[in-house]
Structure 1
Amino acid sequence: MKQNKLGTSDLFVSEIGLGCMSLSDDHLHNEKIIHEAIDRGVNFFDTADLYQLGFNEETVGKAIKGKRHDVILASKGGNEWGEGIDGWRWNPTKNYLKEALKNSLLRLDIDYLDLYQLHGGTIDDPIDETIEAFEELVQEGTIRYYGISSIRPNVIKEYAEKSNIVSVMMQYSLLDRRPEEWFSLLDKHGLSMIARGPVSKGLLTNDFERKITEKGFLDYSEAELRATLEKLNTLADANTMSSQQLSLRYILDQPQVSTAVTGASTSSQLIENIQSSNVSPLSIELTKKLEALFKAPVYENHRN
């Protein structure tokens, strides 16, 4: 599988990654999925301490035992949970992030993370303190690089200008093209995008009829969504690929995107995701048809 450099780091990540949030509560099943992903060329795995309140990191750790050098492992922190906390609460302080990273490493049963990401963030956070925490973790050798997972323009701009992040994880798909507005900013600072939700919860697949609800999706009404996805399906058929492959290839063709993190709870889902990597880059004509079919809105909130 093609690998891309992640920002200014020396990490080369598979263009299709595995979003571990989709894993089950069965260690053996999860191990099978992760091992098959590795065997098929996936080397980027993304988890978070909040997923299944720690279990997700534990199951990933068990699965990569003996395969640590075959994977680039990313996790996230900043959401505090545990005894005495109802659900979880946001805590981007230096002391908490350093403690959270230590606990993540224990659950994963590893000595370091390749990429540690701030799992959210607001412009009112103590951003200098948060950056200091990440920089100290790099110096201590417990993380190799750091990034943020955020869709807030003002937060992204702040970290791009003040820190040494190498990546920004954002929701990005044909149905959510808002990140495209910020491609020039990523280029300016040498940052890579990690695209999450690239098939929009299954809407951008041939199984879209079963996924549509009366809520629609973002600024697409139910009727508008249905009409748009039917046209996507027709366009994919005409180009002898699935809607999922066409949708993923559009994302992967963007030079700012180093990897598209896809979920997979079954082997068949995993294989279909990976097959998108075998699809040739889209023609300029086909790309323009997709851009004409799907809206290109911008983020309206959290702007300076």
Structure 2
Amino acid sequence: MQYRQLGKTDIQLSEIGLGTMSLPLDQKKATAIVDAAQEKGVNYFDTADLYKFGEIEELLNPIIKGRRDDFILASKGGNHWDKGKKDWFWDPSKSYIKSACKSSLKRLGTDYIDVYQLHGGTIEDPIDETIEAFQELKQEGLIREWGISSIRPNVIKRYADAGMSSVMMQYSLLDRRPEEELLDFLHEKGISVIVRGPVAKGMLSMKTDEKVPEDGFLGHTRQEVLYAADAVQLIRGKESAAQVAIQYVLQHPAVTSVTAGASTPEQVFENIGAAELEALTEEEYKRLQNSVKTEVYQQHRN
């Protein structure tokens, strides 16, 4: 496993991180998945208070107990919900962000979160107030660093000079929009990109074409998706398709870590295989790029 610097900080993240949204709510099974990831050198674990309405954070509590220093732990807030209720509304207010962070700390059973992220956001939010919340949480020692989880270019750019260390965003061969506008910008700012969705809902690593809907994916037709998937699978073979798709997004220097979910230890090992795969050559990288058209952000700008 290789490790990369988080923004301008002294925190080193594993190139492959574990996303916890799909962890089973069985303590033994969840622990086995986390242990499998750590066995392979994963230190970055991403969660959120909204994942199963706090249950995932509570699930992680006994797993990290007694070995907190082995985890770079990230969580997210901004979706306002109350215990026992399964609905929520967007609330980026300073008071709620600080309250949500403290609730996450309690559920996780830790006194600090390494990377705390805004779980969304729009240009209409009280952004200065939201930034104050993160800055105060950091000053109080409750978080080490902060960032946002967003694909909205105008929102990301508003936060870029406020001291954040990371942006989590969707990025894959089938969603190359970040390449056109965000990756170089964030790299120049010294802000890390943490990738989600590198395999495009499994469409780039499928064993059959049944995963591709008739209307395609984003702006790509079904045939274009299948063509891109074939290109990925031809690089190192079908069994390494998921790893190739992950290696593709790791190629850009702005990317620090790729967060991949898993519901079994076997899926963990498949994802982490990307870190053990030889890096793509420039020729392979260009071949993949040429297999699918680039797009720009039309919607989701603000």
TM superposition score normalised by structure 2: 0.95
Residue correspondence of structure 1 range 249-264 to structure 2 within 5 A: 249-264=247-262
**1:4 equivalenced with 2:4 (yes/no):** yes
Q: In the alignment, what sits opposite 2:19?
A: 19
Q: In the alignment, what sits opposite 1:197?
A: 197
Residue correspondence of structure 1 range 145-164 to structure 2 within 5 A: 145-161=145-161, 163-164=162-163
Post-superposition offset of 1:228: 2.9
Is the 1:16–1:259 Cα contact (8 Å) retained in structure 2? yes
> CA deviation digits over 1:13-67, x for unaligned, max 9?
0000000011112121101100111111000000000000000111122211122
> CA deviation digits over 1:151-175, x for unaligned, max 9?
00010000003x1000000001111
**1:290 equivalenced with 2:295 (yes/no):** no
Post-superposition offset of 1:71: 0.8
Q: In the alignment, what sits opposite 1:167?
A: 166
Is the 2:105–2:112 Cα contact (8 Å) retained in structure 1? yes
> CA deviation digits over 1:49-104, x for unaligned, max 9?
00000001111222111221011000000000126977110000000011101100
Residue correspondence of structure 1 range 42-191 to structure 2 within 5 A: 42-82=42-82, 87-161=87-161, 163-181=162-180, 182-191=182-191
Post-superposition offset of 1:295: 2.0
**Aligned partner of residue 204 in structure 1, secondary structure:** coil
Structure 2: how far apart are the matches of 1:261 and 1:23? 13
Post-superposition offset of 1:241: 6.2
1:300 maps to which of 274, 298, 301: 298
Post-superposition offset of 1:242: 1.4
**1:232 equivalenced with 2:237 (yes/no):** no
Is the 1:120–1:148 Cα contact (8 Å) retained in structure 2? yes
Is the 2:187–2:253 Cα contact (8 Å) retained in structure 1? no
Provide closer, same or farther for how the CA distance between residues 200 and 302 of structure 1 changes in structure 2, counting only shifts above 3 A. Answer: closer
Structure 2: how far apart are the matches of 1:165 and 1:135? 9
Count of equivalent residues: 301
Is the 2:170–2:196 Cα contact (8 Å) retained in structure 1? yes
**Aligned partner of residue 172 in structure 2, secondary structure:** coil
Question: Which amino acid counterpart does residue 119 of structure 2 have in structure 1?
Answer: H
Structure 1: how far apart are the matches of 2:215 and 2:51? 25
Structure 2 unaligned blocks of 5 or more: none
Post-superposition offset of 1:268: 1.2
Structure 1: how far apart are the matches of 2:265 and 2:210? 20
Q: In the alignment, what sits opposite 2:263?
A: 265
TM superposition score normalised by structure 1: 0.95
Residue correspondence of structure 1 range 202-221 to structure 2 within 5 A: 202-221=202-221
4+ long deviations beyond 4 Å = 83-86
Question: Which amino acid counterpart does residue 226 of structure 1 have in structure 2?
Answer: L
Post-superposition offset of 1:231: 3.4
Question: Which amino acid counterpart does residue 188 of structure 1 have in structure 2?
Answer: E
Structure 2: how far apart are the matches of 1:208 and 1:42? 29
Structure 2: how far apart are the matches of 1:84 and 1:32? 28
**Aligned partner of residue 209 in structure 2, secondary structure:** helix
- The percent of aligned pairs where both chains have the same amino acid is 51
Structure 2: how far apart are the matches of 1:141 and 1:176? 36
**Aligned partner of residue 211 in structure 1, secondary structure:** coil
> CA deviation digits over 1:119-175, x for unaligned, max 9?
0000010000000000000010000000000000010000003x1000000001111
Post-superposition offset of 1:213: 2.0
**Aligned partner of residue 201 in structure 1, secondary structure:** coil
Structure 1 unaligned blocks of 5 or more: none
Structure 1: how far apart are the matches of 2:274 and 2:117? 26
* Richer in helix (by share): 1
